[in-house]
Every structure is written in structure tokens, then in C-alpha cells.
Amino acid sequence: MNVQIDPLQSITKALQDVFLPMGLKNVILGWPDTKFFTVDGNLPSLFIVQVNDSGKHLASRESIHATVPNSDGQTATVYKEKLRIFYLLQLSLFAYTQEDRSNLGWMIQQYLVSNPQLQIGIPGVETAVFKYRGQHNPPGETRYYQRDMNFEVTARVLDASTAYIAKTVVMNNQT
């Protein structure tokens, strides 16, 4: 069985869960259409922009990344790493005021610096690892203040299969 979860979609969902309660209106994958800014109440919002990516096979296809027992108590789902993807992501915060840009931008940056492993995808199995790479505040226009924060992010592409859980181990005595 193949696990078909797009790592960028999983990262976006995980960031939504963390950052929406901080006061953001939206956390969206991709660059905003200019029409987005014409609607009052859309800001402050965070946009996740993929600058580039590369993939590497860093583990043997037989290396087990995680094993999660299934509810039946007899089987487990075994996850093997197929590929590790390295992204450069730009997190672009847009706010109505310089104060919101500063306060929310700092909260987002500090969260990812203090909590570099973000739970994504399969609960209890997968994480994305964030490494801070700097920020930039482009000159603000009235009602549109932007902060760009760059992060290198590592995510895994996993394969899954079901296996029976060993209840006992029998040793073969040789004499």
C-alpha cells in the first residue's frame, strides 16, 4: 500500500493548526492572487511559497522508519522511507499594520525556531524539520505590510504495509 500524502499539503495543514489560533485569518499554500487583498477581513494571512526542492534517497528501502500498532491488536502498519525531500520555503505574512506584521511575524518565527520538528501527515509517525534561514521586511504599502521568513524544511515520503505483530520469539537451540 502506498501512502499518498503530499508533504507540502501536510506541512500547510500542520501550520494551519498551529498558527490560526495565534490570530491569523488564513494559512495558504502558494502565492496570493491580487484579488485576495481586495476583500476586507482576509488579513493577517500567511502564505507558504515553495522556492525550490530536491529529493534524496538517504535510507535503505528496507529501513523501517516507524511501526504503529493497529486497533485490531494483531497487526501493525510498517512505514518505510522512500525519499527525503528538502524544501526551501518562504513563509510570507501579510498584515494590515506594521504592528501586526511585527508581532505575528515574531510569534511565527519563534515558534518554528523553538519547535523545529512539526508533526505532519500520519499521526505519531511523521515530522517535518524546519531550519531558520533569515527574514526580510519589504517596504510596506498602506494596509499591506509583508514579512518573508525563509526556512529549509526536510520531509519524508513513506511507503506503508501491514504486518502481523510477533507475540513470541522462538529460539532454535542447536546442540
pLDDT digits (tens, 9 = 90+) for 54-111: 988 776 767 788 888 999 999 999 988 888 899 999 999 999 999 999 999 999 999 9
pLDDT of amino acid 146: 94
With 50 as the cut, is the pLDDT of residue 1 above it? no
| Residue 58 cell numbers, joined | 538517504
Q: What is the mean pLDDT of residues 144-157?
A: 93
55 Cβ contact list (under 8 Å, min separation 6): 83, 84, 85, 86, 157
The owner of cell 507558504 is 48
With 70 as the cut, is the pLDDT of residue 175 above it? no
Percent of the chain at pLDDT exceeding 90: 57
Q: Tell me the whole-structure pTM to 2 decimals.
A: 0.82
Specify whether the backbone of 40 is left (phi greater than 0), alpha (psi in -120 to 50) or beta.
Answer: beta
